[in-house]
Amino acid sequence: MSDTRASRFSALAMTACMCVAARAHAQTEPLQTEVRKRAATVEEKVIRWRRDIHEHPELADQETRTSRLVAEHLRGLGLEVRTGVARTGVLGVLRGARPGRTVALRADMDALPVKEPEGLPFASKARQAYLGKEVDVMHACGHDAHTAMLMGVAEVLAGMRDRLPGTVLFIFQPAEEGPSLFTPASGKKWGAKLMLEEGAFQDPRPEAVFGLHVMPGPLGQLSFRTGATAASSDDLEITVTGHQGHGGMPWNTIDPITTSALVISGLQTVVSRRANLTLSPAVVTIGTINGGTRANIVPDRVMMTGTIRTYDEKVRAQVDGDVARTAEHIAESSGAKAEVRITPMYATTVNDPALAAAMAPALRNAADGKVAESPLAGASEDFSFFAEAVPGLYVFLGVTPKDQDPEKAAPNHNPEFFVDEHALVVGVRTMGTLAVNFLGSPPATKEPAKAPRAFVHEDR
């Protein structure tokens, strides 16, 4: 098929999806109106939950207080509740009074090893163990807001169960930020992948999954994109081993520090000279480097850690291989040895194009028309595993106060990251509206592909 014919076919297919979406929107409009009304009534509760969770943050796989709060709330709404999924995860099932489809809604619960500055009356003073060391803990990525909003959605939809067609699976997921009790290289599993292995999507099995993340952005604005949305991530560990000796006589040593400097410089060429950036972006970052004990000793080894981010599986495999070869060969040329360990973390988060097109009217409705296309995110998300199992849609919610420039707002994972709570009701509306819109729409005539679509489009 020629590029011109393919683009015309794609445009026709997208137009057809939008027409179906418009019809579904009209059929579910009464339910969407009720979601909006009920979201307004739970807004104050959502804010209280968010502040409570924010004040008592918990690291990955240690979210016992948070999961208990969630489970008690879901049971109080009359939902079927399963706890202890992937250690601390919670699943809730709401079955509507009318037959229909099944949809999953996901929120993550874990916090970060970050110290929160003073200022908020509900600022965190919590401390927990992170890889065996006690650290300060803060909800510096907004998962407190995600959990509170989905609790609000559960209350909204539970109050509509007599009119609800189909089933809603609520996923309160632990450990999205990665494990805190062990290292990823240990081989143990966590988060979304472990929830799926423990049957999160078995009974009931959803036909689609939706997720939402708060970000710096215009207050209450939703943004999303189709296809690759957030990067895959791989953890990188490099150990450079040399020969220890006196710093004043380096000719008697093999210096792993100077070798590591060469390795770090060489790794920059993996992306700039090896990856085809016109097809797909890639990032290789070294985040830590440790070695040596005092100024006049050449140490025997240096350890580095970093991250690799890509948006396509072929590019991912190429970059991973190039990183390992580059580090090993540069070290060898210096007489040293580099041991490279690359641990796969998360897959690329892919928004299903057909699902995104079908849900676009629902997003515009929930955000009062404030919808934009999001840029590629350099961050990664283990929502990607849910979206590999069934078609998924991941959207971003702007939470920057109106009197601030989102471009200058502190980003996620920063201790100054701030959530304007006026946006929370928009998040409740969004997830609730997506749910009822999907449940009220006809099943797809052809089941969408469950594997991520490649970012790179090869010529045909």
Residues annotated as part of the active site: 346, 421
H-helix segments, 228-304? 256-269
Alpha carbons within 13 angstroms on the beta-carbon side of residue 123 total: 14
Distance in angstroms (rounded) separating the CA atoms of residues 93 and 83: 12
The full length of the chain comes to: 460
Are 284 and 308 contacting, i.e. CB atoms less than 8 angstroms apart? Answer: yes
Distance in angstroms (rounded) separating the CA atoms of residues 311 and 456: 9
In sequence order, which residues have a C-beta less than 8 Å from that of residue 458 and are 6 or more positions away? none
Judged by DSSP in three states, 267 sits in helix
The tokens for 334 are: 């210096």
Give strand pairing partners of 371. Answer: 222
The gap between the terminal CA atoms of the chain, to the nearest Å, is: 7
Q: Give the DSSP H or E segment for 332.
A: helix 313-333
Distance in angstroms (rounded) separating the CA atoms of residues 286 and 32: 47
CA dihedral 306, 310, 314, 318 (to 10 degrees): -30
Distance in angstroms (rounded) separating the CA atoms of residues 212 and 141: 12
